[in-house]
Amino acid sequence: MSTRYSTQLQSSAILSITVSSSSSLDSTPREENSHNAAVSESSPSSLLMRLAMRVSRARWFIFLRRVFHYQNGSRSDLGTNPFNSITWMISELIALLVQITVITFTLALSKNERPIWPVRFWITGYNVGCLLNLMLLYGRYRQLDISQGNGFGDIEQEQRGREDHTRCSHLMNRCRTSLELFFAIWFVIGNVWVFDSRFGSFHYAPNLHVLCITLLAWNALCYSFPFLLFLLLCCVVPLISSFLGYNMNMGSSEKGASEAQISNLPSWKYKVIGDTSDSANDPECCICLAKYKDKEEVRKLLCSHSFHLKCVDQWLRIISCCPLCKQDLPN
């Protein structure tokens, strides 16, 4: 009786093990299929995440962030002017040469056209402005080349060179402001002459009319660049970051800086000059928000922003970019 009962128990156990194993084998493909389906469903979000990471680490996006910080940051932490970089100057040079070439070719091609408004005079004045802007660009390049030069020899020559550099920078800024004012006034005059609905100027001078509209559209895009940049970095980027859960403003660097990159940055010991009783205007480290004390080690990044050496070294080991303007360190 007991033997028969034990045999039944063994057979039922074997049957239960067989059923459970078969059910597990059947459930394994189902789990794999569900996992593959989940992966396939989450692939668009992962694709968007990778795309956002690539965009946040792109050079043009880092440059736009530097421009926005330079235009809207506090005067004490502006850093270097991003528009004085070699890449931007080359882009300006190409744009100016293309405009001068197209304007000269169109003026030579449309000698027989007789526009109602003096559109030819407007185009010629715009071309002269481009030539002046080209000369100003060369002056900016020469000024940048001189400012990046090493020491002048002795202290007197170095001080004289700094004074000449300051005088030239003031003169360049005045010339640039005057030229921007000229282009703004010329832009308004061109809109009045071209888009006057009382005359059909397109039938009398089609080539000049199309060229004027093209130049006006290019200037309108340039004037709206700060507003478009504000929409991109203050509206579009935060929405994408909150949707993906990835901060694009902090994703400029894939990893921290190496010890060799950090050690190549200049550093010195801070020295307090003059009366230290009034410390309201003393510089401070934006990482720890503490003012610099005498003989504290300070490190300066390539963007001209300075921090405590210990603070910024710890920051750069995590993210290899400036805490203020997000400019990456060179490799």
Cβ neighbors of 133 (< 8 A, separation 6 or more) are 96, 179
Q: Report the C-alpha gap between 66 and 77 in whole angstroms.
A: 12
Neighbours of 124 (CB within 10 A): 14
Mean pLDDT of the chain: 76
Vertex 175 angle, CA 174 and 176, to 5°: 90
Amino acid at 193: W
Where are the strands (E) in the chain, listed by range?
267-269, 297-300, 306-308
Domains and CATH numbers, the chain: 60-244 (no CATH), 256-318 (3.30.40.10)
| Model confidence pLDDT, tens digit, residues 242-260 | 888 777 766 554 567 888 8
Q: Is the CB of residue 265 less than 8 Å from the CB of residue 299?
A: yes
pLDDT category of residue 34 using cuts at 50, 70 and 90? very low
Q: Nearest-CA neighbor of 65 among 55, 255, 265?
A: 55
Average pLDDT over residues 124-135: 94
pTM over 0.75: no
Vertex 242 angle, CA 241 and 245, to 5°: 75
Q: Report the C-alpha gap between 309 and 325 in whole angstroms.
A: 18
Give the pLDDT of residue 95: 94
Amino acid at 297: E
| Model confidence pLDDT, tens digit, residues 173-229 | 888 899 999 999 999 999 988 887 555 667 778 888 889 999 999 999 999 999 999
* Helix, strand or coil, per DSSP, at residue 298: strand
Average pLDDT over residues 65-78: 69
Give all strands of the β-sheet with 297-300 in edge-to-edge order.
Answer: 267-269, 297-300, 306-308
Neighbours of 294 (CB within 10 A): 10
Q: Name the CA dihedral angle for 162, 165, 169, 170, rounded to a multiple of 10 degrees.
A: 70
| Residue 292 in this model has a pLDDT that exceeds 90 | no
